[in-house]
Amino acid sequence: MPARNKLDLVLVWHMHQPDYRDHASGEFRQPWVYLHAIKDYCDMASHLERHPGVRAVVNFVPVLLDQIEDYVRQFATGELRDPLLRMLVHPNLNELRAGERHLLREWCFRSNHVTMVTPFPRYRRLHELYRSLEGGGEAALDFLSGAFYADLVTWYHLSWIGETERRIRPLAAELLAKGEGFTHADRMHLFDALGQIVSGLLPRYRALAAAGRIELSATPYAHPIAPLLLDLKCAREAMPEAPLPDAMSYPGGRARVFTHIDQAAASHEHRFGARCEGMWPAEGAVSTAFLQLLAGRGLRWAASSESVLANSLRRAGGGSLPERSHYLYRGYRIEAAPGLAVFFRDEKLSDLIGFEYARWHGRDAANHFVGELDAIRSRAPAGATPLVSVILDGENAWEHYPYNGYYFFEDLYSSLEAHAFIRSTTFGRYLADTPNLASLPAVVAGSWVYGTLSTWIGSPDKNRAWDLLCAAKQSYDLVIDSGRLDEQEKAAAEAQLMVCEGSDWFWWCGDYNPRAVVRSFDELYRGNLAGLYARLKLPPPVELASPLSQGNAESESVGTMRRAG
């Protein structure tokens, strides 16, 4: 292996949760934002803090940041709008109403049982007690006492605390050792600790960025599938026979995509004190038209996935495709979007971290990953420096790892710091060092899931979801143009529209997803559309009363499904 061959590695950790708030009441309908904050977002910051030789890109979706800051205010004021947090601090769990008891039983076992319940014998015993009674219905479950619910809600939050936080907080060790009989004082101390974790989160990432340790990037504001907002028919670039919605197009889609881009850039500069140089499009979904809009707004880089690049090269080359190592490990300039660099993730390496390594011993997984990088480096021409982009969710995989991936990251980051020929870097640094990139005429519209847009369009229920959104946008345009709303009402309507344009509502349509998750997101989506009509002072259409789809898959770990990557 030529000693002069080096390799640049860009790790991109994408942080995203959809907007779980009811914007009329301010209530949170699901708690995943603060749960991932106390577990994954804090752990990912801690791994980087412990390893100053590692560089990475951390991508925050603005709608996630909105919700994190919302929780910071809730912890600070005690004015709680998340039902699960209210149960944590409830002064007397013997006085719970039936709906509150149901909420605790429904939510407090929602996690990966192998890594987050089974390792704790007393938590596991609570689950076994619940399972022994649930067959008897509510009459049997009524035997569960306030002490049961106090222990249950405490254990649930203890199991969600990040491994790094468990190791530095004496309170966590004390409560884990106590194991049962948790008092209201115990729960209040735990609540205060969770508030400290959440409130310290964004300052930690700002500090890492200020020190040059990470590059912070963004996604268009509410995580929309921007290529489809621009042109529903672009789905057929990679899926020529795909059925499409009845609506011919999304009304005013170009202006809406600009709004998501511009508000994301403003959010980023406000929160992190610096201009956003790059964007990870929602789900890595790109089209040539979308990349042109990013270039027009002065973005320096965007990213997508290997399959999108392969489809684009096949089209540009008349169907032929060179060896993977000859085209993947570099950045590209898109001729149709001047000024913008586009990078493409290594799907194999990204998916090894996202889906496979959780079953490995941490050191074996880290060694294997570095070995794969060395193999890529050895295949490169003498003197060449391949660029490997590894991009995946920064939150969803780790609960499948023992200790939330603590030992995997410890071994991986240590190995990268010590390696003589592998440099972890960021896209911004890479562009500063490598001004001359390969050229690509245009891209075939697609995403990091199969290289297509099939996860968000093309099936009956997904297409129906688009038709409902297109109809709501037509109503929105008519009401806004009519002048019936004042400026405050228009701003509230637009905020609600942005939520409806998010990608997650379309992701979860389909009977290949867990039934409970499909039902939950179906209800959230139709509720958001109904909320938009309410903001417009219009009655919602009767179609919103009917579910989009009927999922029939089952999963114990609902709500925290690992997404693509």
pLDDT at 513: 76
83: three-class secondary structure by DSSP: helix
CA angle 420, 422, 426 (to 5 degrees): 135
352 contacts: CB under 8 Å, gap ≥ 6? 365, 368, 369, 372
CA 520 – CA 558 distance, rounded (Å): 10
Tell me, what DSSP letter sits at residue 299?
A: -
36 contacts: CB under 8 Å, gap ≥ 6? 17, 395
Please list, residue by residue across 372-396, b when 16 or more beta carbons sit within 10 angstroms of its beta carbon and e when fewer do. Answer: ebbebbebbeeeebbbbbbbbbbbb
Tell me, what DSSP letter sits at residue 470?
A: H
Nearest to 15 by CA among 35, 34, 31, 36: 36
CA 230 – CA 3 distance, rounded (Å): 48
Nearest to 55 by CA among 413, 486, 346, 460: 413
pLDDT at 512: 73
- Predicted TM-score (pTM) of the model is 0.95
CA 224 – CA 220 distance, rounded (Å): 7
Q: What is the DSSP annotation of 324-374?
A: HHHHSSS-EEETTSTT-EEEEE-HHHHHIIIIIGGGS-HHHHHHHHHHHHH
> What's the Cα-to-Cα distance from 227 to each of 86, 202, 211, 256, 452, rounded to whole Å?
40, 30, 35, 11, 11
CA 92 – CA 150 distance, rounded (Å): 9
Length reported for the chain: 565
pLDDT at 556: 35
Please list, residue by residue across 502-534, b when 16 or more beta carbons sit within 10 angstroms of its beta carbon and e when fewer do. Answer: bbbbbbbbbeebbebbbbbbbebbbbbbbbbbb
pLDDT at 323: 86
**Rg (alpha carbons) of the chain, rounded to whole number:** 24
What is the H or E stretch that residue 8 is in? strand 7-15
* Residue at 176: amino acid letter: L
**What is the token pair recorded at 49?**
């803090």
Tell me, what DSSP letter sits at residue 421?
A: S
pLDDT at 4: 64
For β-strands 7-15 and 422-425, DSSP reports them as: parallel
Given a cut of 50, the residues of the chain with pLDDT beneath it are 1-3, 551-565
455 contacts: CB under 8 Å, gap ≥ 6? 283, 447, 449, 506, 507, 564
CB 275 within 8 A of CB 428: no
Phi first, then psi: give them for residue 360, nearest 5 degrees. -100, 160
Nearest to 398 by CA among 133, 74, 196, 111: 111
What are the tens digits of pLDDT across the range 376-399? Answer: 999 998 889 999 999 999 999 999
Q: Which residue has tokens 């022994």?
A: 132
